[in-house]
């Protein structure tokens, strides 16, 4: 693609006007692809503030940034006007400590976490690894606290914990989230496999009754977020509830992680996804309103219409 002077100037304004700029799909609060999400998570673990540019909002920038740095994929990270690279490079920089150095922040804590692998789990893992020299067990816990195991060749920059004769290789983010983890092997009616207990994971989303919500509202210690669209809210609404849009997303994510949040929809189904999103962002007092606005109308305030 030929890069016009106007598009080049726009990109240069971003790159030269801010020390750290991430060109990505979506926003920092709502990444729209897995690679952008991983890159944001890496930067968030190191830096509190940086600029993101949503290329989905500007097709000219989306194509122009590829020509600007001669880099074919998105996301792209620039630091001090220099292109660092995409997702894989940023993750490698994070795990090696190079990202911290480039940003001028303290080196990361690379202390291996204590991980407990039970006898049953160690036996099964050992059976899988047997006969595969040079292959290691990799443990990954992403920014949403979703955990998985993989096998592969160690690259040398991993953080390694050892338990019950098994070495577990982790990236930096996983090591920080894995402290105190217990890995077990279970067999029940649903099958058998490894289970993972993560003490540091955010508490699960609670199902809050509308009566409990009324009590919390009276005590003024809960923020209600309505995830429904304009048409449904026009039919029935809860006074004081926030509308879930981009502005609200940014506002909520800036709140202290112990802020009480209750998510509301029509019957309590669609709101569960939003509640789970904020739980995975580290909020510790997150609830889904069981029965939604319909239950509120039937059980708390009959002046709110049903539909």
| 73, 63 contact by CB (below 8 A) | no
Phi/psi region, residue 240 (left: phi>0; alpha: psi -120 to 50; beta: rest), is left
Angstrom CA distances, 131 to 100, 126, 148, stand at 38, 10, 22
Cis peptide before 56 (omega within 30 of 0): no
Q: Where along the chain do its domains lie?
A: 5-103, 116-197, 206-299
Question: So what's the architecture of 206-299 in CATH?
Answer: 3-Layer(aba) Sandwich (3.40)
Cα distance between residue 21 and residue 12, in whole Å? 11
Question: What is the CATH T-level fold of the domain 5-103, as seen in this structure?
Answer: Glutaredoxin (3.40.30)
* Digitized pLDDT (tens) for each residue of the chain, 307 residues in all: 578 999 999 999 999 999 999 999 998 877 899 899 889 988 988 888 899 999 999 999 999 999 999 999 999 999 999 999 999 999 999 988 899 999 999 988 899 999 999 999 999 999 999 988 889 999 988 877 888 999 999 988 889 999 999 999 998 889 989 999 999 999 887 788 999 999 988 888 999 999 999 999 999 999 999 999 999 999 999 999 999 998 999 899 889 999 999 999 999 999 999 999 898 888 899 999 999 999 999 999 999 999 9
Q: pTM score, two decimals? A: 0.66
Question: What is the CATH T-level fold of the domain 116-197, as seen in this structure?
Answer: Hypothetical Protein Aq_1857; Chain: A; (2.60.300)
């Amino acid at each position: 693609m030929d890069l016009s002077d106007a598009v080049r100037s726009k990109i240069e304004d971003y790159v030269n006007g801010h020390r750290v700029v991430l060109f990505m799909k979506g926003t920092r609060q709502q990444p729209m692809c897995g690679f952008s999400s991983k890159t944001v998570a890496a930067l968030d673990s190191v830096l509190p503030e940086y600029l993101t540019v949503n290329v989905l909002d500007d097709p000219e920038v989306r194509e122009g940034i590829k020509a600007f740095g001669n880099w074919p994929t998105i996301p792209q990270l620039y630091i001090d006007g220099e292109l660092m690279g995409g997702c894989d490079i940023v993750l490698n920089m994070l795990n090696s400590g190079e990202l911290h150095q480039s940003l001028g922040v303290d080196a990361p804590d690379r202390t291996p976490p204590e991980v407990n692998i039970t006898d049953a789990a160690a036996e099964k893992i050992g059976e899988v690894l047997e006969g595969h020299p040079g292959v290691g067990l990799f443990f990954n816990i992403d920014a949403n606290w979703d955990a998985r195991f993989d096998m592969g060749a160690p690259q040398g920059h991993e953080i390694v914990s050892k338990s019950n004769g098994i070495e577990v290789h982790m990236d930096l983010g996983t090591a920080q989230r894995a402290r105190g983890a217990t890995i077990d092997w279970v067999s029940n009616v649903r099958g058998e496999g490894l289970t993972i207990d993560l003490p540091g994971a955010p508490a699960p989303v609670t199902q809050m009754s509308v009566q409990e919500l009324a009590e919390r509202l009276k005590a003024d210690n809960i923020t209600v977020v309505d995830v429904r669209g304009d048409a449904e809210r026009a039919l029935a609404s809860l006074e004081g509830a926030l509308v879930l849009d981009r502005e609200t997303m940014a506002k909520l994510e800036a709140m202290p992680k112990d802020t009480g949040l209750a998510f509301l929809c029509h019957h309590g189904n669609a709101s569960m996804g939003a509640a789970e999103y904020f739980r995975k962002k580290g909020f510790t007092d997150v609830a889904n309103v069981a029965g939604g606005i319909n239950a509120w109308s039937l059980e708390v305030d009959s002046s709110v219409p049903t539909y």
